[in-house]
Amino acid sequence: MRIFVITGAGISAESGLGTFRDKDGTGIWARFDPMKLATPEAFARNPSEVHAFYNARRRNLLSAVPNSAHFALARLEEALAERGGSLALVTQNIDDLHDRAGSKEVIHMHGELFKVRCVACATTIPWREDLGLEDQCPSCAQIGSLRPHVVWFGEMPMRMDDIYLALYGADLFVAIGTSGSVYPAAGFVSEARALGVRTCEINLEPSDNASHFDDKRYGKASEVVPAWIEETIATM
């Protein structure tokens, strides 16, 4: 069995990382305007403000830990591999909680908060402390050329070829903890349906895409995801 899972900020919410659009207005974008902070133009216009935004999130991530939903997905990956199947785990999240929970193959389509990239030499470097204009690229020694290795609005998401390859081969498509409001990620469920793939949404509340899903399970990811995965493994 080949399962395609896409996760969003909701799977990391119970690990203490903010979401973007929670209805109660507590989401990150309710306090910060993405168009002011998560675009190349914003970075060109005011790099220090964008660095401060990502430095705060990087510091927050240092004290966050994976929750039972992340660990359950690592278990699913193992159970599928043992039975000759596969899990394609694609995340919109820039945290490393799936990796820390033991998932071996994670496609970070919007990049990774614990990495930076040099705009001068294009080298990607692991980076866990604050980043600023005074920092020097360890590869080409340029000063002030390092940026967060994340995908901003208007930038091309990463590993799209790998994502579509996994989507076309899937028997089951599952979206976990995402509002289905950002493209191209939000469009994956329609691609899956067009391919005749069964679709399932697991979220706190119906997403913008809810009508596209055959099955829907609502509740906290830390409770609903482990239960769904135990059920899925039991029927393999």
Contact with ligand BV8 (CB under 6 A) among 101, 146, 150, 170: 150
Stretch that binds ligand BV8, among 43-51, 72-80, 115-123, 197-205 (CB under 6 A): 197-205
CA–CA gap between residue 109 and residue 14 (Å, rounded)? 21
CB atoms within 10 A of CB 130: 13
Q: Output the smallest distance, CB 185 to ligand BV8, in A.
A: 5
Token pair 């600023």: residue:
132
DSSP-derived secondary structure for 21-74: --TTTTSHHHHS-HHHHSSHHHHHH-HHHHHHHHHHHHHHHHT----HHHHHHH
Position among 27, 40, 85, 102 found at the interface with ligand BV8 (CB under 6 A):
27
Nearer to ligand BV8, 66 or 157 (CB): 157
Is residue 205 involved in binding ligand BV8 (CB under 6 A)?
A: yes
Span interacting with ligand BV8, options 9-17, 82-90, 126-134, 160-168, rule CB under 6 A = 9-17
Contact present, 89 and 5 (Cβ < 8 Å): yes
Residue 50 tokens, joined: 């964008």
Nearest residue relative to ligand BV8 (C-beta): 10
Q: Answer yes or no: are the C-beta atoms of 232 and 205 closer than 8 Å.
A: no
Q: Is 110 a catalytic residue?
A: yes
For ligand BV8, the closer CB: 153 or 164: 153
Q: Which residues lie below 8 Å from residue 186, measured CB to CB, with a gap of 6+?
A: 178, 180, 208, 209
Q: Which of 51, 110, 149, 212 is catalytic?
A: 110
Residues at the interface with ligand BV8 (CB under 6 A):
8-10, 13-14, 19-22, 27, 38, 92, 94, 110, 150-157, 177-179, 181-183, 185, 203-205, 207, 220-221
